[in-house]
Structure 1
Amino acid sequence: MLKLSPICSAVVLALSTLTIAGCSDAPEAPQTKTPAKQASTSKADIYQDYLNRDVRDDIFYFVLPDRFENGDPTNDQGSQTDPISRGGFDPTHKGYFHGGDLQGLKNRLDYLQDMGITAIWLTPILRNRAMQGPSAGYHGYWVVDFTELDPHFGSNDDLKDLIDTAHSKGMKVFFDIITNHTADVIKYKECHYPDGSHRNTETYLCDYKYMEQLAQGDTYTPFIVEGEENLKVPAWLNDPKYYNNQGDSKWHGESAVNGDFMGLDDLNTRMPEVVDGFIDIYKNIITNFKPDGFRIDTVKHVDMSFWQKFSPAIMQHAKEQGIPNFHVFGEVYDGDPAFLSRFTTIGKMPAILDFGLQGNADAVFANTESPQKLEQLFDDDDYYRDADSSPDQLLTFIANHDMGRIGLFLNNNFPDSSEAEKTQRSILTHAFMYFARGIPVVYYGDEQGFTGDGNDQAAREDMMPSVTASYNDNNLLGTDKTTADDNFDQTHPIYLKLAEFADIYKTHAALRKGIHLTRHADEEPGIYAFSRIERSEQQEYLLVFNSSTEQKKVVLDASSKQYQPLYGAKLPLKAQNGSVTVNVPALGFVIYKANDRINPVIASDIKVVTAEVDKRSPDFINIEYDLSGITQQPSLYKVTTEFVNHQGVYQMGATDFTPPYRAKILASDIKGGVNGQVRVTIDNLNGDVQQKEISLKL
């Protein structure tokens, strides 16, 4: 653990800057904060009004309630009346309930608010099967009753009280929901004995049966163990006919959608009755509890047609219930934007978790890979742009409960580096998540330097004092504490930095909703520079990150004669011969705001240079444009693509604000496909609007 001298500790606490790097053998990374200027719209206004606040203004905190704080020990064993949801409490075991609950979370709302958190995302909290095999349902993903809170966490009234209290503080509450599966109740005669125990005691798996096998009559015979026929609520979920019953997933091909998750009962999400049933379930959840949105589990393992109906129905119902900015985002565990985006375009889901950013941000700042990976990542944002979704609605993160913590990645990638360097890298990676496009999500405990020993159970430590030996032997970043201590430390250097980042984020709309434009990316570890530009303000925020352990500088085209420092520097930047030179400390970053608006530019012409089936997502046509006469960087242009649909009328396709300007249009929607017709409107956001109809046949 990091040992701070009394003087160094005092500096950390007094200045709230990571001067620990200057008190150790790690490379220095001084970060001097200049007070941020207040935005024209008071941040206090939107951060008190949770109901009408745009989700892009939020900062999320993702938490497992069981591992946070035990506010009511009387519910530690769960249900007093229903044995299926009772027991599983053993705080010494990382796979059992540890006692955290909603009362504990409510008691700690001020801790989250002081860190700048505005939205809390809870892992699933509906009533679970308490025990399943050698583990407990502390995580919430083994639901048997979709109408009530799991008694280990409290009552339905406790949930309403938590939401009301959070709302009174201007904070939102998001539920983690499941449509792919329920708890493991259905068994197969070919795999299980009558008591439900498994015939295969080596793998405890049932071989997956493909659709071709089913067509030939090779099927499993589902049954339910006596006494468990009516476990699930609502009652229709107890009928095996609504499930695929094809055995355990092989995690690829058709089995990824139709197979059971290690025995969990996989629903047939192609059936209209299942789609309508889950729409009703979650409409009732919205009506009864008034959450502010849903995170949806295991999205890619559900049939795409399910999402096309489910997502719009849920969003519409939330609006009817008086929740105008209800947001839905899905978990699609894949790092390729060409695949991830299919669920926001074809699947009509408003947003997904940005696994692409997670992988690339960690590769650059928590490892030593090229910053050009980030340039490519944001160039791929065109995949997300369609009529009703965009990349700035994605939820961004750098660690989670499945893959593990940022501290784990740092320990694995830099085993010989000092703790101070790892702490600084954690702060730098978090900063990138806060200020790049998207909505930041902090994984609970990362603000306290938690590291974990691995993924899954090993990454789900207790914030309250832990008695789990495999957690308590971990070396936390930035502190002398262990997980055996109370870890709600508001003087922890990472916590302090995240609170500081939140204040900057909330003060400047461009850092929340501005256009993200890459300005420079080094080939080797070093500089990634980008702009955030709010469309109406049109002043550049220049952000330059340094992933190297040495100080770096970069020369960039200037959009203003002078830039004011907002973070990481003391003196203004002054342009010379149309350029600015930006110096960035080792493992640090700087933020500047331009004094002047970006000069408007006018394109002399627009033409299609590419119209072809997209190589990475063949269901789409990739259209790329050239705007003639634009050389200034950065420059502002809004390029909107409409296409002629099968009814012969123009339909909205995509909007792009960053070069190279593109549109990704679903081929089946365009009359004539790659030989169809588009109407392109280019707007320099300063009054010059041009429109052109173009045949895609080149």
Structure 2
Amino acid sequence: MKSRTTFYVIAFAGFAACIGAWQVLLNTNGSQRTTVVNNTIKTPSTSTPYLQRSIEEDIFYFVMPDRFHNGDTTNDAGAPAGSISHGGYDPTSKWAFHGGDIVGIQQKLSYLEDLGITAIWMTPILRNKAIQGDGVAHHGYWIVDFTEIDPHFGSNQSLKQFIRAAHQRNIKVFFDIITNHTADVIKYEECHDSAGIHREGLTRCAYRTLKNVAQNGTYSPFVLNSESSAKSPEWLNDPAYYHNQGDTTFEGENSLFGDFNGLDDINTEDPFVVSGMVDIYKNLITEFKPDGFRIDTVRHVQLPFWQTFSPAILAHAQQQGIPNFHIFGEVYDPSPAALSRYTTEGKLPSVLDFGFQDAVRHVFFDSDNVNKLTALFKQDHFYNDDDSHVNQLLTFLGNHDMGRPGYFINTSLPNKTRAEKLKRSILAHAFMFFSRGVPVVYYGDEQGFTGDGYDVDAREDMMPSAVDSYNDNTLLGSDATTAKDNFNSGHPLYTAIASYAEVRRQHPRLQFGEMKTAYVDDEKQIFSFTRSGSEHKPPLFVAFNLSNKAQTVTLDAIYDGYTLQFGEAVVETTTDGTTIMLPALSFGIFDKT
């Protein structure tokens, strides 16, 4: 009989302070067994201090303040009656304000810290036009005042207090910013009556092409007297600084020059506007000292703007004593070739990795061909240049626009058991934490939220909800509903994510290491990769089994001597080489010790 040694490891996810992995060593005939603690995952490590911490070391939590926790009920109505920023509070409507605020996030910092979060990204918090038509600005993307916090969310002072409290816990704070548009204030004589209402028969203003504008001019803009000074800084009240070409269809040139559903599209080609926008966001950095920006609707602004804006903002942050200030943009496109233009030509340090989200959604939630992942990572070189790198991309599984992992799983695999659906979400989160890029957890995903779709159907309340269409959802990994408080630090997704955060912190190769695809098998649904370290350390080997069956993989000789560090697997070493057995829907992280 061939001599062999078998290692069997199961990592039990728990609170970050209680994370443990147990290794069982059996001899050839299995008659003796010794149990030892695997010190790889022992106690939470201390993160690098936030000012010195590079973006690759961070773990993000993307939160919509209005839907998180109501820490101050006195601001639920926003500004006083009569203000453009008043009203819209209705906790029973999925479209309306629900009362969550900055104080509420501050009150839950320990919950986020225990989850392993090191950076909080909030949807926009600057002052909005609260109500537009039949819509309500709970999301924060309809800004009128770029100098003041929206009163629904708090005050400038409460934001400063929150940032100080987060920094005391070594957690960064990122602002979601907008340069493409403001709230809908400008109207057009050709489309609207004197009260600003669409003329009979119209629901939108047809887009005027650049050719049409050259021949006939733009629409004729006007602003109602009641809103003539609504915006701040003052120059934003002048229609001359907007495109005034009608509504976009999000196609071709009109995606750059058209209004988003009436939102006033800023003329970001104008040098005065470029300078004005740079000043706006420099001032926010000076006043609040955030740690970075996420930029909305980046692809709807032309590249020359970003080539000026990004270097100027980064330089100013350095001057303000924020050496690792980071910027990442939203470019809603799954193509690495398209996304990477903004990190290379556009001079943005990073973007949200929609290519990653698209590939993971198809492979983990649709049971598609695992080679979709191979094809994605083959294009990683597009992102690497002198001032950006693929490891700085922000990776995510779902968001407030497209929907949640739980929704994708329910839609694509409706007949799977609740146990399998939970496993798939946990496995996808593991893949996000251990592959290249910076992981972003969308609020509520750690509590198994599923949602009913995209947009407002993916914006459930973490605090007790009064929205019927939220409360009738079946959550992953829990018998709770959104009708009750959902800050359960014992939820299986919460505990799994907390353990992944700790593994990532304790292995710099998972933060900075070059990722290379290793063994891939479409039939077995196995995808594996390595994360290289310094020349003094071998690469980590990470393997995922996406099938519903246990799978065995025979490794190349270069992996002789590798043992399981975290996950669930059997490693068998014989005179013929090393094989690993991965249970259904599982993963393992291996290192040479």
- What do you get for the CA RMSD once the two structures are aligned? 2.1
- Distance in 2, matches of 1:567 and 1:215, equals 63
- Distance in 2, matches of 1:575 and 1:341, equals 45
Partner of 2:321: 322
Task: Check the 8 A contact 1:330/1:352 in 2, yes or no.
Answer: yes
SS of the equivalent of 2:174 reads strand
Task: Check the 8 A contact 2:546/2:584 in 1, yes or no.
Answer: yes
SS of the equivalent of 1:433 reads helix
Partner of 2:125: 125
1:592 matches 2:568: no
SS of the equivalent of 1:341 reads helix
In the TM superposition, what is the alpha-carbon distance from 1:538 to its structure 2 partner? 3.0
- Distance in 2, matches of 1:319 and 1:124, equals 23
SS of the equivalent of 1:568 reads strand
1:240 matches 2:246: no
Task: Check the 8 A contact 1:369/1:524 in 2, yes or no.
Answer: no
- Distance in 2, matches of 1:465 and 1:131, equals 24
Report the identity percentage.
53
- Distance in 1, matches of 2:152 and 2:36, equals 44
Partner of 1:286: 285
1:179 matches 2:179: yes
In the TM superposition, what is the alpha-carbon distance from 1:559 to its structure 2 partner? 2.9
Amino acid aligned to 1:457: V
Amino acid aligned to 1:580: T
Which string of whole-angstrom CA distances, capped at 9 and with x for unpartnered residues, describes residues 40-92 of structure 1? xx974534x11101110010000000000000000000012661001100000
Amino acid aligned to 1:589: F
In the TM superposition, what is the alpha-carbon distance from 1:219 to its structure 2 partner? 2.8
- Distance in 1, matches of 2:313 and 2:423, equals 41
- Distance in 2, matches of 1:112 and 1:143, equals 28
TM-score in terms of structure 1 length: 0.79
Using a 3 Å threshold, how does the CA distance of structure 1 residues 536 and 38 change in structure 2: closer, same or farther? farther
- Distance in 2, matches of 1:55 and 1:405, equals 24
Task: Check the 8 A contact 2:306/2:347 in 1, yes or no.
Answer: yes
SS of the equivalent of 1:110 reads helix
In the TM superposition, what is the alpha-carbon distance from 1:573 to its structure 2 partner? 5.5
Amino acid aligned to 1:225: L
In the TM superposition, what is the alpha-carbon distance from 1:558 to its structure 2 partner? 3.7
Partner of 1:696: none
- Distance in 1, matches of 2:519 and 2:560, equals 19
Partner of 1:96: 96
1:37 matches 2:40: yes
Task: Check the 8 A contact 1:560/1:575 in 2, yes or no.
Answer: no
- Distance in 2, matches of 1:82 and 1:551, equals 64
In the TM superposition, what is the alpha-carbon distance from 1:540 to its structure 2 partner? 1.8
- Distance in 2, matches of 1:317 and 1:410, equals 43
SS of the equivalent of 2:531 reads strand
- Distance in 2, matches of 1:104 and 1:552, equals 45
Partner of 1:58: 58
- Distance in 2, matches of 1:565 and 1:168, equals 36
Task: Check the 8 A contact 1:368/1:525 in 2, yes or no.
Answer: no
- Distance in 2, matches of 1:558 and 1:393, equals 32
Task: Check the 8 A contact 2:520/2:526 in 1, yes or no.
Answer: yes
SS of the equivalent of 1:85 reads coil
Which string of whole-angstrom CA distances, capped at 9 and with x for unpartnered residues, describes residues 116-149 of structure 1? 0110000000000011111211100000000010
Matches within 5 A, 1:595-610: 595=593
Using a 3 Å threshold, how does the CA distance of structure 1 residues 263 and 33 change in structure 2: closer, same or farther? farther
Partner of 1:665: none
SS of the equivalent of 1:159 reads helix
Amino acid aligned to 2:462: M
Partner of 2:406: 407
- Distance in 1, matches of 2:46 and 2:321, equals 19
Which string of whole-angstrom CA distances, capped at 9 and with x for unpartnered residues, describes residues 436-477 of structure 1? 000000000000000001100000000000001110111111
Partner of 1:222: 221
- Distance in 2, matches of 1:12 and 1:397, equals 21
Partner of 1:617: none
Partner of 2:109: 109
Partner of 2:30: none
- Distance in 1, matches of 2:355 and 2:534, equals 25
Partner of 2:78: 78
Task: Check the 8 A contact 2:13/2:498 in 1, yes or no.
Answer: no
Which string of whole-angstrom CA distances, capped at 9 and with x for unpartnered residues, describes residues 214-262 of structure 1? 1111531111012211100000000111101101111111101111000
Using a 3 Å threshold, how does the CA distance of structure 1 residues 378 and 570 change in structure 2: closer, same or farther? closer
Task: Check the 8 A contact 1:186/1:224 in 2, yes or no.
Answer: yes
Which string of whole-angstrom CA distances, capped at 9 and with x for unpartnered residues, describes residues 312-350 of structure 1? 000110011000000000000000000000000110000
Q: Which moved more, 1:294-303 or 1:381-390?
A: 381-390
In the TM superposition, what is the alpha-carbon distance from 1:523 to its structure 2 partner? 2.4
Partner of 1:339: 338
Task: Check the 8 A contact 2:45/2:502 in 1, yes or no.
Answer: no
In the TM superposition, what is the alpha-carbon distance from 1:576 to its structure 2 partner? 4.9
Partner of 1:165: 165
- Distance in 2, matches of 1:230 and 1:299, equals 27
SS of the equivalent of 1:564 reads strand
Task: Check the 8 A contact 2:208/2:246 in 1, yes or no.
Answer: yes
Partner of 1:146: 146
Deviant stretches of 4+, over 6 Å: 11-17
- Distance in 2, matches of 1:309 and 1:471, equals 43
- Distance in 2, matches of 1:200 and 1:452, equals 36
- Distance in 1, matches of 2:503 and 2:121, equals 22
- Distance in 2, matches of 1:167 and 1:175, equals 14
Q: Which moved more, 1:125-134 or 1:566-575?
A: 566-575
Task: Check the 8 A contact 1:34/1:565 in 2, yes or no.
Answer: no
Using a 3 Å threshold, how does the CA distance of structure 1 residues 361 and 285 change in structure 2: closer, same or farther? same
- Distance in 2, matches of 1:35 and 1:159, equals 42
Partner of 2:271: 272
Using a 3 Å threshold, how does the CA distance of structure 1 residues 334 and 576 change in structure 2: closer, same or farther? farther
- Distance in 2, matches of 1:33 and 1:465, equals 43
Partner of 2:69: 69
1:349 matches 2:352: no
In the TM superposition, what is the alpha-carbon distance from 1:524 to its structure 2 partner? 3.8
Partner of 1:137: 137
Amino acid aligned to 2:199: R
Amino acid aligned to 1:37: T
- Distance in 2, matches of 1:207 and 1:35, equals 64
- Distance in 2, matches of 1:302 and 1:369, equals 34
Partner of 2:357: 358
Q: Which moved more, 1:176-185 or 1:193-202?
A: 193-202
Which string of whole-angstrom CA distances, capped at 9 and with x for unpartnered residues, describes residues 180-208 of structure 1? 00000000011111111112566x21100
Which string of whole-angstrom CA distances, capped at 9 and with x for unpartnered residues, describes residues 666-689 of structure 1? xxxxxxxxxxxxxxxxxxxxxxxx
- Distance in 2, matches of 1:231 and 1:525, equals 60
Amino acid aligned to 1:242: Y
Task: Check the 8 A contact 2:228/2:237 in 1, yes or no.
Answer: yes
In the TM superposition, what is the alpha-carbon distance from 1:533 to its structure 2 partner? 1.2
The count of residues paired between Structure 1 and Structure 2 equals 567
- Distance in 2, matches of 1:593 and 1:394, equals 25
Using a 3 Å threshold, how does the CA distance of structure 1 residues 164 and 113 change in structure 2: closer, same or farther? same
- Distance in 1, matches of 2:37 and 2:476, equals 26
Task: Check the 8 A contact 2:569/2:587 in 1, yes or no.
Answer: no
- Distance in 2, matches of 1:45 and 1:342, equals 35
Using a 3 Å threshold, how does the CA distance of structure 1 residues 496 and 344 change in structure 2: closer, same or farther? same
Amino acid aligned to 1:268: N
- Distance in 1, matches of 2:305 and 2:109, equals 35
Amino acid aligned to 1:250: T
Gapped regions of structure 1 (runs ≥ 5): 1-10, 18-31, 596-698
Larger relative contact order (C-alpha < 8 A, sep ≥ 6)? 2
- Distance in 2, matches of 1:327 and 1:82, equals 38
- Distance in 2, matches of 1:525 and 1:449, equals 28
Q: Which moved more, 1:517-526 or 1:274-283?
A: 517-526
- Distance in 1, matches of 2:228 and 2:13, equals 59
Matches within 5 A, 1:576-655: 576=575, 579-595=577-593
